[in-house]
Structure 1
Amino acid sequence: MSVVADQVRQLDAQLDRIPLSYLTDSAATRASIDLDSPRAKELLRTVKALSAPSGPNAVLLPQQILSLLSQSRLLPANFEEALPNQYEAELEWILVGKATLQTYGIILHALLDQIIPLSDHIWYWDDVLSSPTYTSLYMVQTSPVRLWAWSREIYEDSKARFQLYASGGASATGSEAGPDTQSLQAGLAQQWKRFYEIVRESIREKSLTNLQRTVMSPVALCRSEARQKQAKLKKLKEMTSSALGVLIVEGLVFGANGSDDGKADTILSAKQEWKSVVERSAILMDMVLKDVLAPNLRVSDFEDRVFAGVQEDPELSTQAEEDEVNRPLMVARRLQDLLEYHLPAHLQDTKELVADNGRPSRLVRYWLPSISLLLSSTTVLRILVNKKQEIVHWIRDLGATVRDFWFNWVIDPVRKIVGTIRHDSNSEIAIMSRDSLKADRESLERMVVDFALDKSGAATGASAISEAQVAEIRAKVREGDVTPILRAYEKDLRTPLMGTVRGDLVRTLLIQVQKTKVDVEVAMSGIDSLLKSQELVFGFVGLTPGILVSVGAVQYLRGVFGGRKGFRESRKAGRCVRVLRNIDRILSDATPSPNNVLPYKDHGLLISEVHVLRQLVHSLLPADIEKDFLDDLDDLANLKGIMSQLRALARIRWAYSKWLR
């Protein structure tokens, strides 16, 4: 919701509180009016249609206001000659007041929409004047426009001279006194020769006329032009801000400060002063639109001229009590002129002024890169056509790479993690088969037992081995103890040649090789158990690179296509800080009036900055915080004194610094 919408709704609520019960206080008055007449019902419907609508925009369109005024039969084209009764006359005044309020809102919107873009244009000229590089760039950008304007001047001047020469009324150069009959009868070649001489003379005279351009360098000339345009824009901003401040402070002021306390006597007195407020406000809007673009007029002179025009307005100065019936008609006619003629003319004049002095159009600023791109487009197209197969192959490879990365480094690790969580046997990590250790251990057990039975003397020192001893050997082998084999091995080492011939030494060596294999498998089994216990951790470790690359790519693409909400919010917060800085400068640099309030110009600038700030914080603050923020903004915009406004600004800075950083 904007500042204008709040202002219009507040004033509309005050108009709705105008009581009409006093019209029926006496019996004579009740007998002279008809509350249910067709005219009264029609006026009531029109008053309701002119009320501020609900929603973010509280202002109607100009066409709607004109249509409702026409339906009310208050305009000259369809004015009713029959005299209304007192009740209908009051309804006509309320209708005119509502229409004046809607016109007031339209004009405030128009002035705000003009002030805000002017800052961008002024900043553009600041950039142009900030360095010779930007000035040179501006010179290059505007060189076609300058060349076209110069050529057009030469053409128009040469055309006028040649027409004068051809008619025989004067010489082409102005040096001959009478017509030259022979030159008029010359052939086409002679005329072209004469036209060429005229063009040269025009160019020479233009060069002498614009002597400053020959003395100053092109860069200095561009800087001078930028300063002039910037000065005109600054003056336009000051005048528009002053007009906005005059309308907000002096327009439609009902009662003391427009208080919204529910008391109708703030806008209704014995002499019906609220009608004069409506009448004066319509005249004030008319004077503001007439003089806001006046050339060579200072801000103070503009304000004095507006107030003097309101006081000296013929319709206001000639009002008398016997002309009470025609007063609503005069106000309605003035509103019609405002909406149909004065406001569109003001908007058009402002648009032309900004177009002449604002930053150049995009076509002017970007004609050089556009032409470069156009000239190189054939080369680029030729390269694309010649490299078509390579480009298609590259795109396919890129797509295949992205697809393989997604499935191999994201989908498959996720599938394995899900399988691990569900204890899927196929997903278990293993560095050896599950039955390998068991088979090798049983094989070692059989080897040791068979050797002990075959070579009992060498293995145990006894001639025979009982079943109990065999069971004991089996148990020790399961624990890794192969003492019978080691005893036989030690014995055969004493006579290795005989042990080798008998085969016992080789047999014990092979059994020890099997023992070494079993030991290695036991160690591997321990490592395998450790891996299985951390299988989920390894799964997430394998998934992490794919997730990181995917998230980084998504964030990069969101940044490229402008989808970063946090970045947009930080930019909005930065703009809010700049607006608060502008408000601080306005309050600090302003020269207060004797009653310690801002001048009209500074108040208009303040309202424009507050309007921008309200739009910026709409999506930046939470809903409950935004409501408090708008209350503080109202304190900042109200005319309660500069010190009160500075305190409100300080409160906004520390209370909402969390969201405005």
Structure 2
Amino acid sequence: MPTQQTRTLLSYAPKIPAFDGRAVSEHEAKLYGVWMKLNGSSADNVPTVDVLLDALEILERSPPSVVTSSQPYDESSELRDAILTKLVFGVYTHFSETLLNESIEAEAEAYWWTNIERNSWGCWCYFVQTLPLRLVRLGRKVAAIANEQNIHTFGDTFNRLAVPHVEIFNALFPSLKKRFIFPRSPLALIREECSEHHRKLQRIRDKRAEQLGCLTFLGANVRSRFETRATQPSNILWKDPKFLHDLQLIMAGDTSQAIETSDLSDTLTVLHQFLTQLLPRHVEAHHTSIRSYQRPPRWTRAWPKVFFGPPLFLLIFRSIYNNRSSIRVSLIDAKETIRGFWVQWVVEPVREILNTVRTGGESGPRVTSKEGLKSDMESLERMVISLATEKQNWSNEELKDLSQKIRQGDLTPVLEMYEDDIKKPLRSAVDIDFALEGIDKLLRSQELTFGFVGVAPSLTVLYVVGGWIRSLLGNGSRWRPGDKRRREVSLHLIRRIERLLLNAGMPIPPSESPSSDEPSSKQLPALTQGLLIVSLTHLRRYAESSLPRRSRLREGFLEDLSDLEESSFDKEEKFLIVQRMWRSWGQDLGWGCSVHR
């Protein structure tokens, strides 16, 4: 992924005029084909190494009359200069991408060792995974010592062989051989080994990041020259030997190999050597330096699973097969339990709530029914009227008035005559009915509340189980601000960027800077600038893969990252950009929430 610096430089590549249908020579047509190939070789407009080498080969085979700089500055010369400038930009871009990828690789390996060191289970797994290799190294060391002591029989090995403890320690823990800390627990030794690998990888990352920072400053100087230069051939980039010298100095790190060049043939040779010698040697040297501190190979980490996995799988399968009847019964019981929970504790209570809302609570069961209360009242009315007719000989008008009073609950006329005999058995029954009617109204008024209270526990269980299932299945490609892992990564990166800016030391002295221009007094050191680009690359990849597409959040976030990557901004300005990111995106990305580390 090209950095913002390389994208900007590529945008400054010269533009060539179209032929407009005029007659062109065969060589001009070939140069135009090279130019089109350089501009269309990849999606990022960055030519590949093979395309650059092909273009260099075509230019090297060009006739001297065409490739010499003494000829008039015509359209052919302009096309040639544009191709050479594009070639120089292409070489610079590949150097930058190589250093960036190497820094990211070293940082990823260091992060892997850090995770192993923090987890005791991870340390023990790593020890088991690498135990065969350690034993092989120990066996080779013992065999070498036996040869030195002229021990050639198996019996003499136990009687005469003397292996120093230091040699045993160095064979088992080669990365700790320079500091003998034996004896200690295996867990402590593994942690120390992980910490040592982490420190070595950080040094490699810092070295590559510092080279990347120097390249960034070199590109910033070239950019300023393109923005302020006059459009004359003497100001063409490929004719500047200082730029090529600084480029080689940064990648090779050896001033004795600096190449002084001023003509076109030397420039082509230098660019060809950069791509065929300097870049491959640098990549090979990096792989050699990092190989000893990388995580164990895939098969080394996988052999315990391959070795112990099949027997464990066979034992588990046999146990399941032998208990298949009980497992089947358990599954059926579990199915019925889930079905009963769903029907009796979710569906039915929800149905009752909906029915209560629809009917107003009049269709369900009651403490005492209206029909029962009405029957009791009619029975009481008949008994009282019969009593009044037999004892008092009341007229029809008086009986109608008594009947009306009874419907209203007034039994005073009868109770005055037969208070002791009739009060308790009849009035008590009516009072109980009226009391139950009051209780029934109270329960009816709270029936909806009782329904929600009854269904709340089952809905809570469903919510918890559903959330657990969603966490197991993941959330697909959808981005959530509350995603713990992504929030942790982005929070760690923005914190590291702010820490780099706060802890930035003094800038590189002009005598140590490979740039032809003196650095600004507020310019970041090369190491800080390189580490800043590494962190910004991680954040850019996070934004492009996780933030919602075509959203203001993503566009604004990427704009802030581009501002931070801009080398023309000083430390204070970049710190203000970081503060703006905290204010603008902190809430959306969950940076204000606590993250378990």
TM over 0.5: yes
- Tell whether the 8 Å contact from 1:268 to 1:274 is kept in structure 2 after alignment: no
- Tell whether the 8 Å contact from 2:368 to 2:436 is kept in structure 1 after alignment: yes
1:468 corresponds in structure 2 to: 397
Q: Deviations over 1:280-314 (max 9, x none)?
A: 6666556655x3xxxxxxxxxx3xx25x64xx31x
3-state SS of 2:222 partner: coil
- Tell whether the 8 Å contact from 1:96 to 1:332 is kept in structure 2 after alignment: no
3-state SS of 1:97 partner: helix
- Match of residue 451, structure 1, among 382, 387, 392: 387
Moved more, 576-585 or 410-419: 576-585
- Tell whether the 8 Å contact from 1:154 to 1:199 is kept in structure 2 after alignment: no
3-state SS of 1:75 partner: helix
Residues of 2 paired with 1:655 and 1:567: CA distance? 14
Structure 2 regions of 5+ residues with no counterpart? 172-179, 510-519, 593-597
- Match of residue 150, structure 1, among 138, 151, 154: 138
Q: Structure 1 residue 196 and structure 2 residue 153: aligned?
A: yes
Report which structure shows greater RCO (CA 8 Å, sep ≥6).
2
Structure 1 regions of 5+ residues with no counterpart? 25-29, 162-172, 176-193, 260-264, 292-301, 457-463, 494-504
1:575 corresponds in structure 2 to: 489
Residues of 2 paired with 1:75 and 1:576: CA distance? 45
Check 1:212–1:534 CA distance in 2 against 1; reply closer, same or farther (3 A cut): closer
Deviation at residue 608 of structure 1 after TM alignment? 1.0
1:114 corresponds in structure 2 to: 102
Residues of 2 paired with 1:473 and 1:141: CA distance? 101
Residues of 2 paired with 1:569 and 1:53: CA distance? 38
3-state SS of 1:395 partner: helix
Moved more, 216-225 or 436-445: 216-225
- Match of residue 66, structure 1, among 43, 50, 54: 50
- Match of residue 217, structure 1, among 154, 157, 182: 182
Residues of 1 paired with 2:568 and 2:360: CA distance? 76
- Tell whether the 8 Å contact from 2:368 to 2:440 is kept in structure 1 after alignment: yes
Check 1:137–1:465 CA distance in 2 against 1; reply closer, same or farther (3 A cut): closer
RMSD of equivalent CA atoms = 4.6
- Match of residue 531, structure 2, among 605, 612, 620: 605
Residues of 2 paired with 1:131 and 1:546: CA distance? 38
2:428 corresponds in structure 1 to: 516
Deviation at residue 146 of structure 1 after TM alignment? 1.6
- Tell whether the 8 Å contact from 1:437 to 1:521 is kept in structure 2 after alignment: yes
- Tell whether the 8 Å contact from 1:251 to 1:281 is kept in structure 2 after alignment: no
- Tell whether the 8 Å contact from 1:104 to 1:285 is kept in structure 2 after alignment: yes
- Tell whether the 8 Å contact from 1:592 to 1:642 is kept in structure 2 after alignment: no
- Tell whether the 8 Å contact from 2:16 to 2:78 is kept in structure 1 after alignment: no
- Match of residue 57, structure 2, among 53, 71, 75: 75
Counterpart amino acid of 1:609?
Answer: S
Q: Structure 1 residue 549 and structure 2 residue 531: aligned?
A: no
Counterpart amino acid of 1:94?
Answer: A
2:450 corresponds in structure 1 to: 538
Check 1:524–1:126 CA distance in 2 against 1; reply closer, same or farther (3 A cut): closer
Deviation at residue 646 of structure 1 after TM alignment? 3.9
1:180 corresponds in structure 2 to: none
Residues of 1 paired with 2:576 and 2:459: CA distance? 51
Deviation at residue 537 of structure 1 after TM alignment? 3.0
Deviation at residue 8 of structure 1 after TM alignment? 3.0
Deviation at residue 145 of structure 1 after TM alignment? 1.0
Deviation at residue 450 of structure 1 after TM alignment? 2.0
Deviation at residue 148 of structure 1 after TM alignment? 1.3
* Pairs within 5 Å for 1:244-323: 244-251=212-219, 253-256=221-224, 259=227, 266=229, 268-276=231-239, 288-289=250-251, 291=252, 302=253, 305=254, 309=257, 312-313=258-259, 316-317=260-261, 319-320=262-263
Check 1:49–1:420 CA distance in 2 against 1; reply closer, same or farther (3 A cut): farther
Deviation at residue 472 of structure 1 after TM alignment? 0.5
Q: Deviations over 1:471-511 (max 9, x none)?
A: 10110110112234424424xx6xxxxxxxxxxx5xx47xx
2:89 corresponds in structure 1 to: 101
Check 1:438–1:423 CA distance in 2 against 1; reply closer, same or farther (3 A cut): same
Check 1:488–1:224 CA distance in 2 against 1; reply closer, same or farther (3 A cut): closer
- Match of residue 35, structure 2, among 47, 72, 78: 47
- Taking structure 2 as the reference length, the TM-score comes to 0.76
Residues of 1 paired with 2:41 and 2:401: CA distance? 103
Q: Deviations over 1:138-176 (max 9, x none)?
A: 666533212112334667999xx8xxxxxxxxxxx899x
Moved more, 626-635 or 237-246: 626-635
Residues of 1 paired with 2:37 and 2:359: CA distance? 73
Q: Structure 1 residue 243 and structure 2 residue 243: aligned?
A: no
Check 1:151–1:655 CA distance in 2 against 1; reply closer, same or farther (3 A cut): same
Deviation at residue 91 of structure 1 after TM alignment? 1.9
Residues of 1 paired with 2:194 and 2:436: CA distance? 83
- Tell whether the 8 Å contact from 1:267 to 1:273 is kept in structure 2 after alignment: no
2:320 corresponds in structure 1 to: 384
> Which of the pair has more CA radius of gyration?
1
Matched positions, count: 555
Deviation at residue 249 of structure 1 after TM alignment? 1.6
Counterpart amino acid of 2:452?
Answer: F
2:570 corresponds in structure 1 to: 641
3-state SS of 1:50 partner: helix
Identity between Structure 1 and Structure 2 (%): 24
Check 1:83–1:331 CA distance in 2 against 1; reply closer, same or farther (3 A cut): farther
